[in-house]
Amino acid sequence: VNLPLYKESLYNFWVKIGDHSHLLYNGLTGAMIEVNDSEKQDLEVVFKEGYFRGSDEPFLKRLLGMGYLVGLEYDEVEKIIELKKHEIDSHKVLDIVISPTYKCNFRCTYCYVNFNDDEFAGSDTANILSFIENNIDSFKQINITWFGGEPLLCMNTIEFMTGEIETIRRRHHAKVLYFMTTNGFLLNSTTLERLVGLGIHYYHITIDGCKESHDKLRVTSERAGTYDIIIKNLITALDKYNNIFFTLRVNVNMETVEKVDDLLYFIPLRYRSRIQLNITPIIIEGKLIEKSLYRKINILLESAYQEGYQYYNQIIPLQRNAFCNADKKYNFQFGPNNQVYKCSPSCKPEVKVGVFNENKTIEFNDNYLKWQEAPLLNISCRLCKYLCFCFGGCKVNIVRGKMDVNCKRKYNDIEKLIYNKYITSNLPQNKVG
């Protein structure tokens, strides 16, 4: 009798990609192979029996190398925990989010940010610049994201601080990349020229479904619709500068998901390779999202990728072993009044972790301890087949000791998600960058 020597990975996923062809994807290593019916059968026997009949050593080694098969003693959950720990402590990239204000020129009907008028004072900018200067040598790269509220309401602060950060960067021969999350309304030609001049090349904007729904939900403080102006700004920007990139997030629900096509095809093909597309359900905390909505989104994404849009590396990520930037130990968000957060503070009091004191150092509070001491994963994540993609989900939930009701739903349509990942890795626009 042959005793098993190996076991199948917990994170193998089969996806049918043709009448007689199949994809085997490993969620932990990202390995992807295409096999025919009989090869699939052979592999299933190996996975079941845990050893190889005959002497196909090179093939077995390949399977082991790709992670489809692992040693009997190998603990993949522990491996994920180890990868996550490593990522949390990593000094590769320091991600800093700067919100010079939480006020906004929009009054999105669902938004929960409280619109106080606070903006950065001299002490805020001095503290953040000093934080950057003190940390810049310890990381290979710093990513600065301008966030809010609406950051473009504080254009002068952005201009001043970016100039100062550039001086620090040059002094330390460091690498700094700049990003901005904006509602896009104020991103007109004049402003964009100033921003590009500052070296800000990556923008994240959000559209709510189609024009009709967007104009109902995302209104200016005077209650006017904003869709046309945002789209015009987006297209003008892509036309004028070939070195800027967008992440376009489109929020959808069952009513709007089928109307998003209009937007996607309105944007000319030649710009789409510079747009990462993220279509996502509108999330209301504690409320279940229909599984069929995920299905519809995935179908929409498939055609969008075929039509030139870039893959957004979120639900099935590669080269990322934490759920979000807030997971990582050294990443912070800075807001007005010298406040230090782990994540955007709206509705999440536990993310407020400290405040800069007169010596420009952060005085951490009890929340910071909670954040540090929270386990890496909630217990039930250890048994979850999607742990290889998700790494335990939002840290705020872990700090609160509760599960997100929708966490597994994102992966409900896993075959299609993997299929979309597979087609994008074969499309020419995804070969670069």
Give yes or no for residue 396 binding ligand SF4 (CB under 6 A). yes
Give yes or no for residue 24 binding ligand SF4 (CB under 6 A). no
Q: Are 248 and 207 in contact (CB under 8 A)?
A: yes
Q: Tell me the helix, strand and coil percentages in the chain, rounded to 5.
A: 40, 20, 40
- Cβ-based nearer residue to ligand SF4, 63 or 353: 353
Q: In this chain, which stretch among 138-146, 154-162, 328-336, 380-388 interacts with ligand SF4, using CB under 6 A?
A: 380-388
Structure tokens at 159: 């201009």
Give yes or no for residue 281 binding ligand SF4 (CB under 6 A). no
Give yes or no for residue 28 binding ligand SF4 (CB under 6 A). no
Give yes or no for residue 316 binding ligand SF4 (CB under 6 A). no
- Cβ-based nearer residue to ligand SF4, 70 or 394: 394
Nearest-CA neighbor of 132 among 175, 87, 102?
175
Write down the H helix ranges in 136-290.
155-172, 189-198, 211-217, 227-240, 261-266, 269-272
Of these, 196, 282, 324, 355, which contacts ligand SF4 (CB under 6 A)? 324
Q: In this chain, which stretch among 54-62, 180-188, 208-216, 321-329 interacts with ligand SF4, using CB under 6 A?
A: 321-329
Q: In this chain, which stretch among 95-103, 110-118, 129-137, 388-396 interacts with ligand SF4, using CB under 6 A?
A: 388-396
Give yes or no for residue 390 binding ligand SF4 (CB under 6 A). yes
Give yes or no for residue 343 binding ligand SF4 (CB under 6 A). yes
Of these, 7, 320, 360, 408, which contacts ligand SF4 (CB under 6 A)? 408
Give yes or no for residue 392 binding ligand SF4 (CB under 6 A). yes
Q: Apex CA 243: angle with CA 93 and CA 265, to 5°?
A: 105
Give yes or no for residue 384 binding ligand SF4 (CB under 6 A). yes
Phi/psi region, residue 35 (left: phi>0; alpha: psi -120 to 50; beta: rest), is beta
Task: Please give the size of the binding site for ligand SF4, defined by CB under 6 A.
Answer: 17
What is the identity of the amino acid at 415?
A: E
What is the identity of the amino acid at 152?
A: L
- Cβ-based nearer residue to ligand SF4, 293 or 326: 326
Q: What phi and psi, each to the nearest 5 degrees, are found at residue 143?
A: -105, 125
Angle between helices 37-49 and 57-66 (to 10 degrees): 80
Q: In this chain, which stretch among 8-16, 72-80, 309-317, 392-400 interacts with ligand SF4, using CB under 6 A?
A: 392-400
Query: Which residue reads 């130990």 in tokens?
Result: 329
Nearest-CA neighbor of 327 among 293, 360, 375?
375
What letter would DSSP give residue 290? P
Give yes or no for residue 407 binding ligand SF4 (CB under 6 A). yes
Structure tokens at 100: 């010079």
Q: In this chain, which stretch among 149-157, 172-180, 363-371, 391-399 interacts with ligand SF4, using CB under 6 A?
A: 391-399
Q: How far is the CB of 124 from ligand SF4 (least distance, A)?
A: 21
Indicate the length of the chain as a whole number: 433
d(CA 401, CA 245): 37
Give yes or no for residue 96 binding ligand SF4 (CB under 6 A). no
Chain residues binding ligand SF4 by CB under 6 A are: 323-324, 326, 343, 380-381, 384, 386-387, 390, 392-396, 407-408
